[in-house]
């Protein structure tokens, strides 16, 4: 549902009624998209709206927030047993911005544990099901944030994207999702997994809504030292672009069928050419090494002392920490922390971690060169249709599903997933990649393409 | 090749207790994953690494007092506390 449709609904039946209806739908839902539903608070805010006391650009609009984004006094679990009773004592920057604009936080969206996964199957709270086929996954790690948009269990949502975690579920659920340029949106209050790669971003049913949410959350925040201080303003533009199709990023037959059709549509208005990015051969390995290394350092904070899962009795520190972490973390989180520790350990630093950061330089160089010639680059967002639940049981097979999305995070660029229709009844997404801070171009192009593909 | 000792050593570095069964499962998975990572051996050494993607350095702020958490708030998520302090496990064994 779009913001304009929601506003019409509120106009006729009142916000309280509209929110009640949505809460009822969530209650009956089979998707498992929420970890926490903020029922009482949402209804209270709706009443406030009906009394004319809730003002702002998002006044009265129900927004879902991924459960790794801190919400003061509301459970923020990261879909982990480790944080299953953690209530932050402060709001993330983006949550402050939502509240300041009158948004109604309707719930905390399910996700992969600590955002580590491509299917939400690593969630301590169970998998998020795909709204188009309940036997398939909604994608990950922001699976809940995507599913709620597709199923009208929220109007807008926030996700986070470390290696594709907004774009993958957006593609699998047939909605729009944007991973902004690194530094456009403050990460203050985002529970970290891999700081140098991740960004919070908007997810919505159409580009206008995505742009509205981005305008609200982007901007200066000195509590994130990597924040660029730049604001975002959506300005409609209509120009002919030079579009590069990335040769190294493909997909299976089902995906390529839809993708090729989209390329033909793009060709009607824009100039399209193929472009080769040789460094991408190494991008997936480099991405996982960096993400795991940063995870091993970030997740060292979970020791069962200041917050999070704790044992009844304190023991010697070595036994206590090791036991808290053995019981509090799921298998995928353990794998990434351990492999990250391995990649950073004596004797392997140069071979893995440092080498991965060198690959990062090569990836940036390839993008720089491409953007000298092209305005935007495109690829299928995901190499396949939404997976069956249980299909990606092998970890390395799951990692390889991220092959089209991770190079963007290595370079810190913005990228958008645009729904381009269905294949075998399942949604397909097209990824549009832009130069640094070129979100306006991406959104305008995405709007044009998305509307054309729905014709 | 990843040995069981490698897995136990890594688990010790990461401070995660693992069982024998887990160690063997992780060993097999790590071997496949690390084998895949070895593709980076093809990349030449003589390249400057990139640690930060944006050219932002030395972000300073004025040294002024800001808001901070109350003691009660800071302790609100801790299970073990005493006299307004966090209580941790014994460090000296």
Q: Quick one: pLDDT at residue A2? A: 98
Instruction: Provide the whole-model pTM.
Output: 0.97
| Distance between CA atoms of residues A132 and A199, nearest Å | 27
How close, in Å, is residue B30 to chain A by CA atoms? 7
- 3 state DSSP class of A20: helix
**Cα radius of gyration (chain A):** 21
CA distance A300 to A321: 10
Query: In Å, how far are A17, A24, A157, A449, B78 from A21, measured between CA atoms?
Result: 6, 5, 18, 32, 37
The token pair that represents A348 in the structure block: 């392997």
| Residue A455 confidence (pLDDT) | 64
Alpha carbon distance A240, A243 (integer Å): 9
CA distance A161 to A149: 17
Closest Cβ opposite residue A358 in set B10, B43, B87 = B43
Residue A334 and residue A324 in contact, taking contact as beta carbons nearer than 8 Å: no
Report domain extents, chain B: 4-42
Count of domains forming chain A: 1
What was the pLDDT predicted at A23? 98
Reading chain A (455 residues) residue by residue, the pLDDT tens digits are 999 999 999 999 999 999 999 999 999 999 999 999 999 999 999 999 999 999 999 999 999 999 999 999 999 999 999 999 999 999 999 999 999 999 999 999 999 999 999 999 999 999 999 999 999 999 999 999 999 999 999 999 999 999 999 999 999 999 999 999 999 999 999 999 999 999 999 999 999 999 999 999 999 999 999 999 999 999 999 999 999 999 999 999 999 999 999 999 999 999 999 999 999 999 999 999 999 999 999 999 999 999 999 999 999 999 999 999 999 999 999 999 999 999 999 899 999 999 999 999 999 999 999 999 999 999 999 999 999 999 999 999 999 999 999 999 999 999 999 999 999 999 999 999 999 999 999 999 999 999 999 86
User: How far apart (Å, rounded) are the C-alpha atoms in residues A352 and A344?
Assistant: 8
Window 292-351 of A, Cβ < 8 Å to B: 296, 300, 303-308, 310, 314-323, 325-326, 329, 334-335, 337-343, 345, 351
For residue A92, the domain's CATH number is 3.90.1300.10
Is the minimum CB–CB distance between A281 and chain B shorter than 8 Å? yes
3-state secondary structure of A350: helix
Chain B: closest CA distance from residue A88 (Å) = 8
Q: Bridge-partner residues for A377, per DSSP?
A: A244, A433
Contact check, Cβ <8 Å, B33/A288: yes
Question: What number of helices (H) and strands (E) belong to chain B?
Answer: 3, 2
B65 vs B23: CA distance, rounded Å: 49
pLDDT (tens digit per residue) in A200-257: 999 999 999 999 999 999 999 999 999 999 999 999 999 999 999 999 999 999 999 9
**pLDDT (0 to 100) of residue B91:** 86
**Which structural domain range is residue A62 located in?**
3-217
Provide the sign of the torsion angle of the four alpha carbons B20, B22, B26, B29, taken in this order.
positive
Whether residue A409 contacts residue A197, with contact meaning beta carbons closer than 8 Å, is answered with yes
From the list B74, B76, B90, the residue facing A316 with the nearest CB is B90
Is A141 a catalytic site residue? yes
Q: Under a CB-based contact definition with an 8 Å cutoff, are residues A381 and A170 in contact?
A: yes
Instruction: Return the pLDDT at B57.
Output: 81
Predicted confidence pLDDT, tens digits, chain B (93 residues):
899 999 999 999 999 999 999 999 999 999 999 999 999 999 999 999 999 888 878 888 889 998 899 999 999 999 999 999 999 998 886
pLDDT of residue A354: 96
Instruction: Report the SS3 class of residue A204.
Output: strand
Q: Which of A141, A142, A145, A279 is catalytic?
A: A141
Give the pLDDT score at A220.
95
Residue B55 confidence (pLDDT): 81
Assigned domain for A423 exists: no
Three-state DSSP class for A420? strand
């Amino acid at each position: 549902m779009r913001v304009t449709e929601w506003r019409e609904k509120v106009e006729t039946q009142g916000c309280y009624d509209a929110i009640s209806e949505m809460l009822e739908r969530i209650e009956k839902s089979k998707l498992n998209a929420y970890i926490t539903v903020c029922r009482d608070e949402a209804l209270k805010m709706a009443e406030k709206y009906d009394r004319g006391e809730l003002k702002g650009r998002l006044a009265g609009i129900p927004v879902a927030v991924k459960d790794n984004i801190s919400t003061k006094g509301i459970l923020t679990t990261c879909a982990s047993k480790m944080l299953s009773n953690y209530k932050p004592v402060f709001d993330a920057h983006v949550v402050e911005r939502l509240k300041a604009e009158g948004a109604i936080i309707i719930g905390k969206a399910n996700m992969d544990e600590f955002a580590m996964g491509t299917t939400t199957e690593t969630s301590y709270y169970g998998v998020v099901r795909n709204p188009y086929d309940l036997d398939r996954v909604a994608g990950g790690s922001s699976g809940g944030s995507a599913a709620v948009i597709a199923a009208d269990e929220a109007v807008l949502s926030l996700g986070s994207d470390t290696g594709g975690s907004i774009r993958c579920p957006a593609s699998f659920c047939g909605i729009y999702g944007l991973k902004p340029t690194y530094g456009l949106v403050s990460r203050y209050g985002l529970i970290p997994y891999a700081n140098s790669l991740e960004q919070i971003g908007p997810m919505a049913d159409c580009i206008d809504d995505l742009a509205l949410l981005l305008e609200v959350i982007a901007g200066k925040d000195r509590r994130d030292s990597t924040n660029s201080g730049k604001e975002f303003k959506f300005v409609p533009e209509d120009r002919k672009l030079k579009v590069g199709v990335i040769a190294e990023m493909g997909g299976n037959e089902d995906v390529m069928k839809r993708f090729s059709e989209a390329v033909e549509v793009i060709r009607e208005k824009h100039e399209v050419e193929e472009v080769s990015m040789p460094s991408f051969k190494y991008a997936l390995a480099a991405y996982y090494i960096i993400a795991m290394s940063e995870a091993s350092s970030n997740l060292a904070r979970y020791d069962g002392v200041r917050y999070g899962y704790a044992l009844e009795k304190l023991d010697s520190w070595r036994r206590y920490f090791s036991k808290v972490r053995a019981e509090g973390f799921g298998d995928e989180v353990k794998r990434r922390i351990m492999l990250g520790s391995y990649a950073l350990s004596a004797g392997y630093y140069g071979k893995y971690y440092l080498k991965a950061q060198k690959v990062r330089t090569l990836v940036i160089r390839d993008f720089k060169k491409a953007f000298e010639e092209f305005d935007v680059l495109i690829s299928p967002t995901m190499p396949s249709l939404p997976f069956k639940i249980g299909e990606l049981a092998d970890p390395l097979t799951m990692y390889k599903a991220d092959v089209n999305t991770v190079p963007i995070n290595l370079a810190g660029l913005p990228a958008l997933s645009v729904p381009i229709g269905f294949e075998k009844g399942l949604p397909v997404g097209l990824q549009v990649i832009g130069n640094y801070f070129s979100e306006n171009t991406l959104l305008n192009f995405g709007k044009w393409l998305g509307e054309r593909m729905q014709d | 090749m990843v040995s069981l000792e490698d897995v136990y050593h890594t688990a010790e570095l990461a401070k995660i207790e693992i069982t024998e069964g887990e160690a063997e499962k992780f060993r097999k998975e790590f071997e496949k994953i690390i084998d895949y990572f070895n593709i980076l051996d093809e990349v030449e050494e003589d390249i400057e690494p990139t640690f930060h993607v944006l050219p932002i350095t030395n972000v300073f702020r004025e040294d002024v007092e800001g808001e901070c958490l109350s003691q009660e708030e800071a302790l609100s998520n801790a299970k073990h506390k005493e006299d307004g302090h966090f209580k941790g496990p014994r460090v000296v064994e």
